[in-house]
Amino acid sequence: MTASDTPEPLPLRCARVDAWDAVGGLVHGFERSAGVAPGESRAASRARVTRALAPFGELLLLRQVHGARVHVAPWASAEPEGDASLCEQSGWLLGIETADCLPLLIVDPRRGAVAAAHAGWRGTLAGVGAAAVAALVGRGSRAGDLLAALGPAIGACCYEVGDELRTAFMDAVGPAAAAFFRPGPRGRPHFDLRAANVAQLARVGLDPHNLHQVDECTRCRADLYPSFRRDGPAAGRLLSFVGFAREGSQAARFR
Ligand SMILES: [Zn+2]
């Protein structure tokens, strides 16, 4: 556990990675909205978080479809279809919305670049985390420089899946994928989404020491996070964000 619940410097209650405070100008968080805004609609969450982050930069969201497409921000259209984004300019915050899926934030302190991804089982199988890393590397980043934070997501404690999911990962990843599954109490496997993504990031060259975890289960932590498995289709969304604060903004004091 490398995270803390630090309201400052952000005007939002968030889980954050303490180690990232050393990166000047970086703004990031995994919002713990369930504790302050239970039952809030997705649109209301977006509006509230967008407003709270406005002094640091403009929040950019995607129309998420459980794929592996990466968009380069800022973009022209309102909300492009895809599950990952990257940005090399300050003043923009990449946002990801989840309700049990894994939010993944990536930072390249050397180049001042960031990426964000939405990784449920489909996106993980499609390699969305690896795609985000490849997009950064394709634009000049070195995988060994990248820092990644895996946010709150449904844990293996709660994530019962079908045998076909295990087969799909075994086919795609190989025997190593066996480590992502454990037997569940009802005879069906439980999937460790976090472990699958850690393995994927390690395969594309990230240093395990640079992988940070907010290792909390969204389904267990009803006091902190929305959960699709727990709350059903009406579940709110956990909003995660990362970016470099606008030059000259109040965040300049963190540089
Ligand atoms: Zn759980």
> What is the model's pTM?
0.94
What kind of fold does domain 14-247 have according to CATH? CNF1/YfiH-like putative cysteine hydrolases (3.60.140)
Strand pairing of 14-17 and 3-5?
antiparallel
Strand pairing of 238-244 and 3-5?
unpaired
Distance (angstroms) between ligand 1 centre and the Cα of 232 equals 15
The answer, yes or no, to whether the previous bond of 9 is cis (omega within 30 of 0) is: yes
Distance (angstroms) between ligand 1 centre and the Cα of 210 equals 25
* Burial (0-12, 13-18, 19+ Cβ within 10 Å), 205: middle
Distance (angstroms) between ligand 1 centre and the Cα of 103 equals 16
Domain ranges of the chain: 14-247
Distance (angstroms) between ligand 1 centre and the Cα of 158 equals 4
First to last CA, the chain: 25
Which residue bears the tokens 């279809």?
Answer: 81
* Nearest alpha carbon to residue 153 among 104, 84, 209, 83: 104
Distance (angstroms) between ligand 1 centre and the Cα of 162 equals 17
- pLDDT tens, per residue, the chain with 255 residues: 345 554 456 778 999 999 999 999 999 999 997 766 667 788 888 999 999 999 999 999 999 999 999 999 999 878 999 999 999 999 999 999 999 999 999 999 999 999 999 999 999 999 999 999 999 999 999 999 999 999 999 999 999 999 999 999 999 999 999 999 999 999 999 999 999 999 999 999 999 999 999 999 999 999 999 999 999 988 889 999 999 999 877 654 443
Distance (angstroms) between ligand 1 centre and the Cα of 220 equals 4
For residue 3, give both structure tokens: 């995270």
